Structure 1
Amino acid sequence: MITTTDFGTLCDGRTVRLYTLKNDAIELSVTDYGSTLVRLLVPDKNGKPTDVVLGYDDLAGYVADDTCFGNNVGRSANRIGGASFTLNGTEYKLAANDGENNLHSGPDSYSKRIWNVAAKTDTSITFSLESPHMDQGFPGALTMSVTYEISGQNEEPAFSITYEAVPDQDTLISMTHHSYYNLNGEGSGDILNHKVTLAADFYTPTDAASVPTGEITSVTGTVMDFRDGRYLGTDIEDSTLQTARGYDHNWVIGTGYGVPHKVLTATGDQSGISMDLSTDYPGIQLYTANYLEHVAGKQGHVYEARDAVCFEPQYFPDAIHHPNFPSPVVKAGETYKKQIIYHFYTD
């Protein structure tokens, strides 16, 4: 079942809507403002519906937001060093909105635009956005589509996000989803006792500006080793993490998979809610919300640093500058299609 309600009005008079997809197992609300995920309710160990994503109660919060709560980030997520890149012999300059670097494609974000509703079913909604040539500084025009689909009727709750686009010129595309998860429930405090298992033998070290150096390094013997499960708070104060104030790194989760595969499990210590994440992306960013500070969120809650964790499947940050990284370049006429699948359950 899908229902539609008004979510607010922009200063130019345009109405923004909220779409809620619901079955017996899961309830998910998304808005056409940024194709943003606003609410995600799944049952805890006692069967109580629990909203596990941070966010705002109204449109005004998302208009003012600079945290990327629930956003689909594009055209290219994460950092591009020097806020420029060269493709087919042409240099393209981007907005330098993170020191000297470009972060999440700059301030003219996909998350600050109204998307069209391209399709709806009882269990899914597809948003589309026209992104013209040189939008945000990137070559090539394309129509980006984002599809949310719920499943789990009379089963364990699950949903998926699918990205699809066909550019008319060679370009960079690396979409990601940027929800802030607290599996104990949004507003319940920090996530330091969330246990995370991540199937990654390698990660990409960064410089002082959190841009990858180009190295691909083994996690063995480091605070980056989540292969056997690790509580997020165990080593978060380690000296190697203090440049980013905690975890904010990319892990290598596989380049040989053509279909989504499970790469991560996270569990809330109080709620008993576990989340499995599957994807066909080659990398994933784990970010422990290190820069949240006095953010007024849902239901009067105030969010602080480390009150959530982001899991952002992606091409490696700054991949355009590192030939040894999987390439984020999509050729003219080729289809870009990537998927993230989330599965929730309790023990």
Structure 2
Amino acid sequence: MNSKTSHSSTYRYEGCTLTGALSVTTAITDGISIIHGPAGCAHHNLSLIYATLLDHESGPLPALCSDRIGEEEIIFGGEEQLTAVIRNAVRDGYTSVMVLGTCVTAAIGDDIDSICGQDWPVPVIPVKTQGFLGGVFSTGFFNALSALAGLAPTGQEKRDGQGVEPRVNLIGEKNLEYEVDENAAEVTRLLDRAGIEVNLRFVRGISTDEIARLGRADLNILREPSLVAFGEELQQQFSIPYLEGFPVGLAGTLRFVQETADRCAVDGTTAVEEEEIFQAQMLDQFERIRGARVRFSQPSDRFTAELVDRLGLIISSDGAPVRLPVPLPVGTAGIRRMLQQWRRTIDA
């Protein structure tokens, strides 16, 4: 059987390339994302983003529109239609315009790069999102990050002067992910222990002008290891090293604090000691489930083994069915939220 038709070969990032890119570009607060393609592509994605915002109880819909190409443009080309929509977006006062192609416009050969390269009064940025050429959700996500990074100047000074706290960028947060802001808040809390501040969330709720700060950090912290290629790209572009992911696990969180401090040339000893005490106090809140019998739907790994050991849990086929979130919880606060769910399941 062709593996492409098998549900077992489906990967959670194998979605529409356009959706992956829009999850990044729509996080620019003063910009607009233009979909160069049929209206249905925009409707599908706007519906998804709207549903996600409702679930997250987040703010208003981002600026997103389509040039709504039809049969005539598919036959004769849609470049004039796209140019007119960009002109309208600039007239309406948007500070940046992101242009995302579709499978249809790629097939007919519209030159999006040339149109975006015209002498516009604001940045007009093409993002490669033609999924039928081999891209998936993660491809569009990566391409959007890369395109927006091009707005930041290189060769910036990392700090403004003596006594300024070291700074880090949070890179590639998943804007459609549950607890995206809670995860960032946890990373910020851990960094604050070591006297390190967040310079920029790239890209999450920032303006076009704020992107210029991308090169003014001492370290980039990637959301997850799948973004290593982009971390390498930023390191080459701005000479900023990177960590491969947000902290996962109790010991992993302590390592994260120490490694971040080391990379930023600050003493992280006290910060690690304080976080270790905080973790012990957090686990004390779940003393009632110590020794409980549990079973996991996934095979046990280092993350679960650590918690099983620290809480004295017993893995048994007849135990309470506790679940691991995907992706794994971030930091100590993420583990606490997960253990609260475990406790409800065990007590049921």
* TM value normalised by structure 1: 0.24
Highest Rg: 1 or 2? 2
> Which structure has greater strand proportion?
1
* TM value normalised by structure 2: 0.24
Of the two structures, which has the highest relative contact order with CA contacts closer than 8 Å and spacing of 6 or more? 1
